[in-house]
Amino acid sequence: MEPEIIPAILVTEREELLKRISLVKDFVKTIQIDVMDNVFVPNKTVGLAELKQLPEASYEFHWMVKDPVKWIEQTPGDHMHLVHVETISSIEEVKKAVEKAGGRLGLALNPETPLEKLLPLVPEAEEVLVMTVHPGFSGQKYIQEMEIKIKTLREKYPRLDIEVDGGLNKETIARAYAAGANLLAVASALFSADDIRKAVEELRKSALAGDSL
């Protein structure tokens, strides 16, 4: 599967959110917006008010929140909703919320959570996100040990969209892609670049180099 670079936006203000969307929306297929409630993770980002009337683009919302159903219900549109398995008490409730909002369901997994907690739910989702950092803050170091989870998922589900989020740069992105991730969420290594369009292409080339690992 071809690698796709997904800009991950972690900000606290709408103005900065719109700025970052404008920097990338013309040359990527999907934009990830990280949403944190300072409960599920120890940080708080943009909330529902800041997510209204966003520029036209394909978005995935990474819900790092305690009660994702309430957030999803208030975010209508054909979006990907990445929900942490650690927050799910009823997969049926989550599915209903996603359907009501007109979106699609993805599942996310924290580093400390066993893959076994995710596997029974995979058939319910279109996408799976494996966190390669502890969620909450940008700029953390890539946790290489998570590659075994990626490899196991790829072996079990050859056509599944598998995303990796956390600590990706030109070096680690090759490892993640070689392990089986085809969707690659990048924050610091992308938005710190002088030429973001060029950075997207260079990261994609670096990912493809993982085929030789």
In tens, the pLDDT along 28-87 reads 999 999 999 999 999 999 999 999 999 999 999 999 999 999 999 999 999 999 999 999
pTM of the entire structure? Answer: 0.96
In tens, the pLDDT along 109-144 reads 999 999 999 999 999 999 999 999 998 887 789 999
Is 70 exceeded by the pLDDT of residue 213?
no
Q: Which CATH code of 3.20.20.70, 3.60.21.10, 3.40.50.300, 3.40.50.720 fits the domain covering 4-212? A: 3.20.20.70
Is 80 exceeded by the pLDDT of residue 211?
no
Per-residue pLDDT, 139: 79
Identified catalytic residue from 26, 78, 165, 195:
165
Amino acid at residue number 26: D
Indicate the domain borders of the chain: 4-212
The tokens of 156 are what? 């079990």
Which of 159, 172, 184 lies closest to 213, judged by CA?
Answer: 172
The tokens 């070689």 sit on which residue? 178
Per-residue pLDDT, 65: 97
Alpha-carbon torsion 176, 56, 16, 12, what sign? negative
Known catalytic residue: 165? yes
Running DSSP on this structure, what letter comes out for residue 182?
-
Identified catalytic residue from 34, 67, 161, 195:
34
Which of 209, 157, 212 lies closest to 184, judged by CA?
Answer: 209
- CA Rg value for the chain: 16
Known catalytic residue: 195? no
Cβ 172 vs Cβ 190: under 8 Å:
no
What is the C-alpha to C-alpha distance for residues 65 and 85, in angstroms, rounded to an integer? Answer: 11
In tens, the pLDDT along 166-210 reads 999 999 999 999 999 999 999 999 999 999 999 999 999 999 998
Cβ 142 vs Cβ 114: under 8 Å:
no
Per-residue pLDDT, 137: 80
